Amino acid sequence: MGNATKYISHQPDSQGYVNYSEHEHALWQQLYQRQIANLPGKACEAYLQGIDALNMSVDKIPQLPDLDKVLTEATGWKTAAVPALISFGKFFELLANKQFPVATFIRTKEEFDYLQEPDVFHEVFGHCPLLTNPAFANFSHMYGQLGLAASKEDRVFLARLYWFTVEFGLMQAKDGPLNIYGGGILSSPGETLYALSDAPERKPFDLLDVLRTPYRIDIMQPIYYVIEHIDYLNEIAQMDIMTHVQKARALGLFAPMFQPKVKAS
């Protein structure tokens, strides 16, 4: 979420389809081919199953109505074409109605490796495959409902829950390999390799700790939280999350594990 963007989303036609340019399709192809090669042995099985189920085109940006046919049948979800940036309120409203927001623009070549606002590659490649998974879909629905009813102050803490699960979550079964389920990692070649390296700290998921952990959107994450399996998201959905939010607000945030962002003069 934010207030300024240099990107403008395409307006879908009456059937929900977007007329992307050949240049935009070429960017998708480059992004897709570069990242899909990174994921075997790194992405969680539920994500890889979702990639297979969606059967996305390698050389053309997927059309949302085509994705919706698969998502609706699998979990009752569908996508929603949105402007480049939307408000927290709109974001929560869409999730509460089982609609996943997708900005219908693709990044420029200049921001190929990283951009701060989610584009169609991040949303479709990073997140949509897991929306075919019932536990992930249920968690996302619950999160939208909570956020829609929450105060502005509480939403700031809820944002950390989303960040350390849906965006930057890892999983590791006992004695099993470390895998990725967070879409922010799965759509980033650099973070895919970094998240599984020895560089960051990794801790078992603890709801109160997650709600108290600061983050920055423009750096590699210094810490990740790890769940044991994708179905654990159902267990999180059944926790008394808002009570934990109040505890987190009372206790305050942990000291940041990163330097503050330097504002441009």
List pLDDT tens digits, range 58-67: 999 999 999 9
pLDDT at 206: 98
Check whether 98 has a pLDDT greater than 50.
yes
Check whether 1 has a pLDDT greater than 50.
no
Contact indicator for 11, 107 with CB cutoff of 8 Å: no
**The CATH number of 22-251 is which of 1.10.3290.10, 1.10.800.10, 3.40.50.300, 3.30.420.40?**
1.10.800.10
Beta bridge partners of 203: 225
pLDDT at 264: 59
CA distances from 228 to 29, 121, 233 (A): 33, 27, 10
CB atoms within 10 A of CB 208: 13
Check whether 225 has a pLDDT greater than 50.
yes
Mean pLDDT computed over 133-156 = 98
Q: CA–CA separation, 161 vs 167, rounded Å?
A: 9
Least confident of 18-32, 55-69, 111-125, 163-177: 111-125
Handedness of CA 146, 148, 151, 156 (dihedral sign): positive
Q: How confident is the model at residue 2 (pLDDT cuts 50, 70, 90)?
A: very low
Give the tens place of pLDDT for each residue, 190-202.
999 999 999 999 9
Residues flagged as binding site:
122, 127, 167
Q: CA–CA separation, 50 vs 41, rounded Å?
A: 15
In three-state form (DSSP H/G/I as H, E/B as E, the rest C), the secondary structure along 21-67 is CHHHHHHHHHHHHHHHCCCCCCECHHHHHHHHHHCCCCCCCCCHHHH
pLDDT at 221: 96
Q: Which of 8, 187, 141, 26 is nearest to 81 (CA)?
A: 8
Give the tens place of pLDDT for each residue, 8-43.
999 999 999 999 999 999 999 999 999 999 999 999
Contact indicator for 170, 179 with CB cutoff of 8 Å: yes
Find the helix or strand (DSSP H, E) in which 146 lies: helix 134-149
Model pTM score:
0.95
pLDDT at 115: 83
pLDDT at 75: 98
- Residues catalogued as catalytic: 122, 127, 167, 187
Mean pLDDT computed over 115-140 = 96
Name the residue with higher pLDDT: 259 or 126: 126
Check whether 114 has a pLDDT greater than 90.
no
Give the tens place of pLDDT for each residue, 66-83.
999 999 999 999 999 998
Check whether 4 has a pLDDT greater than 70.
no
Q: CA–CA separation, 49 vs 101, rounded Å?
A: 21
Check whether 182 has a pLDDT greater than 50.
yes
Q: Domain residue spans in the chain?
A: 22-251
Residues flagged as binding site for Fe cation:
122, 127, 167
